[in-house]
Amino acid sequence: MAWYKEWFGEDYLDLYSYRDQDEADAHVAFVMDAFEDSPRPDSVLDLACGAGRHTEALRRRGLRALGVDLSLTLLTQRPDLPRVSGDMRCLPFADTSFDWVLNFFTSFGYFETERENFRVLEEVVRLLTPGGRFLIDFLNRERVLDSLEASESRHEAGRQIDIQRWYDPATSRINKRITLRRDPEDGEIAGPPRTYLESVRAYTKEEVTIGLSWAGLEVTRLYGNFRGDPYDRDSERLIILGRKAG
């Protein structure tokens, strides 16, 4: 089974619980400022929305936002939010359905082949209205590779967490293996560990921007974080903003 079909469940939510609503609110505030020169959107897609924290932040600002994600576990976290199940490579929406498409927290580059990943960009183009805006929040490959920590172990909330990280130059992917062991209660026998994989294609800035151009998307600005600093090789993130031609 593909790693992204196994990992995005309850254990994922626990491990990344520090990615909270306050962070999502700050991200959306950044987007609103960055796109202030465009008309207020009639519809916004939160692509790979997860548990919906960005969808919620967008809707609190009065935007008609909809989330889509493959994980049913994540989608059930906030049943009050408008979200649907869908695969990024073949989204369940009509052409030109959205004025903005937003993709947060390195949710691009999941798939094994370049064609599959490029298909995601084609779907963004298909869904955007002419002149519609997009944002892709991606890891900064250079910084990640410079600071890659091969192993990490910690104990928190009644469990042992062991993480191994490595870069595979043959596939240009950054991989992370996560092993979780729950502490047994008094009298219990420790259960088996649970192991998951994360694997993301580590695109360079040039690869991403060329791919976007080929798909039909114009890159207008690059940022290195959600504070609005310009991108460089030491930036926290690679945040790409742009528009669909037309």
Contact assessment for residue 131 and residue 100, using Cβ atoms and an 8 Å cutoff: no
> Domains in the chain and their CATH numbers?
3-140+204-244 (3.40.50.150), 143-201 (2.20.25)
Averaged pLDDT score across all residues of the chain = 95
181 alpha-carbon distance from chain centroid: 26
Rounded CA-CA distance 177/202 in Å is 16
Gyration radius (Cα) of the chain, Å: 18
Name the band, by pLDDT with cuts 50, 70 and 90, for residue 187.
low
pLDDT tens per residue, range 57-111: 999 999 999 999 999 999 999 999 999 999 999 999 999 999 999 999 999 999 9
Name the band, by pLDDT with cuts 50, 70 and 90, for residue 185.
low
Give the three-class secondary structure for 32: helix
Name the band, by pLDDT with cuts 50, 70 and 90, for residue 18.
confident
Q: What are the residue ranges of helices labelled H in 8-113? A: 10-15, 21-34, 53-60, 72-75
